[in-house]
Structure 1
Amino acid sequence: MIFKQNNHRKWLAIIFLVFFFLLEIMIVTNNSSTIGIDHSIQNILGTMVSPINTKIFSAITFLGSPIMDSLYLIVIMLILFFKKKRITSFWIALVLIGGNIISFLVKITVKRQRPIGKIIPASGYSFPSGHVFGTTLVILTLIILVLPYLKNQTIRSLLKIILVIWLILVAVSRVYLHGHFPSDVLGSILLASTWWEFSELLYLRYYNNLKGLKLMK
């Protein structure tokens, strides 16, 4: 099995989901506190705007784009497949496809407009951020499914820190470039974490069915 039974997993999924829905409600109702926090953070990042910072964050936002995140997951999926970890590869594919569908459905349901004054072009709706959503899934995949294969504990810990820093950088880049509000990137992390936990629960629920399909390697 990829995952072991864990009673905390269900509660984590519920907690992430509840916080996501609360944030979504605050955004849909134009909650003044949410708007105030968004604008405060945007103003702080606005003081950092410079040609060099724009180039750096533009590069980060490209590397953390939905297309690149999908590519990273496909590469991980193929490597695991050829390493005879077929069920893990298959599961990642479902997480990727299902996650993209869920993120899209939330976008067209909430229909939040993007911030004004975009530094680089950005189309579509603002909530949630596809960049941060996809990056969160990539990082969770690496930390939970890939890094455990490394025997050196120090290297594993260092890579985990680097991956978390990368997520923060992608999130900051989206706000810096005025592609998203801070609440958008927070919502993306919550939504991706919710989907990840529920995906684990679905895997455990249908483990025997997958085994019957002889995908279990």
Structure 2
Amino acid sequence: MNKNKYWLITGLISSILFVILVSVICLNQSWIIDLDSQFQRLPTMTVTTIKNQFFSIITFFGSPIVNICLTCLIALGVWFRQNQLLNVIWIISAQVIGDMLVFLFKEIIRRPRPNNQVMKDTGFSFPSGHTFSTAIVVLIILFIVIPWLEDQEIQFAISLLSICWLGVVAFSRLYLRNHFLTDVLGSILLALAWWEIMRGIYFTLYNPALESIKLKHLKERKK
């Protein structure tokens, strides 16, 4: 199975699971409420001052605003490396439009945040904006940045660190009790589904543009 089929299947499954999760949350199913409540009572979620400070820092650097800035920096790197405006627009759109999509779902579903927040946060709970925007940054790194690197060990190290960073940001939202477990899971599912949509747009728009540039260069060489 090639990578395109793998991502297509991943995107479809994620979309279906996200729709199911949204449905059960909107229907206020008791088993979802029990799942979220049980997870928040895990011993690993014991609150301490040091952990509060640590995860507050993590949640700041995993915020949508910071992730948008990081995405713009990656897009700037792509511009200097490839000089392809379409790629820059695509990268920024993947993050910004995706964040807008998260906000739209928040306003439609209007799920209240947990009552026992460690660090007070405003707005609605589902899905987690921090987790979603961080997931998009990680996917951009894996899809755009990693192929630039020739050393496989460096590729593996950066990929692993990126995925671990996503895990830490997601856990910070749970530890600070700004989100339920299903908020974080829903964000990851939405990010994977949205990423597949953006990949489809990328290969639809970018490839013809790339071919036209190649043809232009060939014509100039012939002259």
Is the shorter-chain TM-score for this pair beyond 0.5, marking a shared fold? yes
Residue type at the aligned position of 1:29: L
- Match of 1:6, SS state, is helix
Larger radius of gyration: 2
For structure 2, the 5+ residue unaligned runs are: 218-223
Question: Is the 8 Å Cα contact of residues 111 and 127 (structure 1) preserved in structure 2?
Answer: yes
Question: Is the 8 Å Cα contact of residues 137 and 196 (structure 1) preserved in structure 2?
Answer: yes
- The answer for the alignment partner of 2:34 in structure 1 is 36
Moved more, 9-18 or 66-75: 9-18
In structure 1, C-alpha distance between the alignment counterparts of 2:15 and 2:166, rounded to whole Å: 20
In structure 2, C-alpha distance between the alignment counterparts of 1:170 and 1:36, rounded to whole Å: 23
Give me the TM-score of the superposition, normalised by structure 1. 0.90
Residue type at the aligned position of 1:32: S
For structure 1, the 5+ residue unaligned runs are: none
- The answer for the alignment partner of 2:162 in structure 1 is 163
Residue type at the aligned position of 2:10: L
1:148-159 equivalent positions in 2, closer than 5 A? 148-159=147-158
* 2:186 is the counterpart of 1:187: yes
Task: Give the root-mean-square deviation of aligned CA atoms.
Answer: 2.3
* 2:92 is the counterpart of 1:93: yes
Q: Which has the higher contact order (CA 8 A, sep 6+)?
A: 1
- Match of 2:41, SS state, is helix
In structure 1, C-alpha distance between the alignment counterparts of 2:25 and 2:191, rounded to whole Å: 18
Question: Is the 8 Å Cα contact of residues 17 and 191 (structure 1) preserved in structure 2?
Answer: yes
What is the identity percentage for the equivalent residue pairs of Structure 1 and Structure 2? 35
Residue type at the aligned position of 1:127: F
Q: Considering fraction of residues, name the structure with more helix.
A: 2
Give me the TM-score of the superposition, normalised by structure 2. 0.88
- The answer for the alignment partner of 2:22 in structure 1 is 24
1:1-217 equivalent positions in 2, closer than 5 A? 6-44=4-42, 47-86=45-84, 87-207=86-206, 210=209
In structure 1, C-alpha distance between the alignment counterparts of 2:209 and 2:97, rounded to whole Å: 17
In structure 1, C-alpha distance between the alignment counterparts of 2:188 and 2:3, rounded to whole Å: 24
In structure 1, C-alpha distance between the alignment counterparts of 2:170 and 2:14, rounded to whole Å: 18
Moved more, 106-115 or 203-212: 203-212
Per the TM alignment, residue 45 of structure 1 is displaced from its structure 2 partner at its CA by 5.4
Query: Structure 1 stretches (4+) deviating beyond 4 angstroms?
Result: 208-214
Per the TM alignment, residue 197 of structure 1 is displaced from its structure 2 partner at its CA by 0.6
Q: How many residues align?
A: 214
In structure 1, C-alpha distance between the alignment counterparts of 2:3 and 2:155, rounded to whole Å: 23
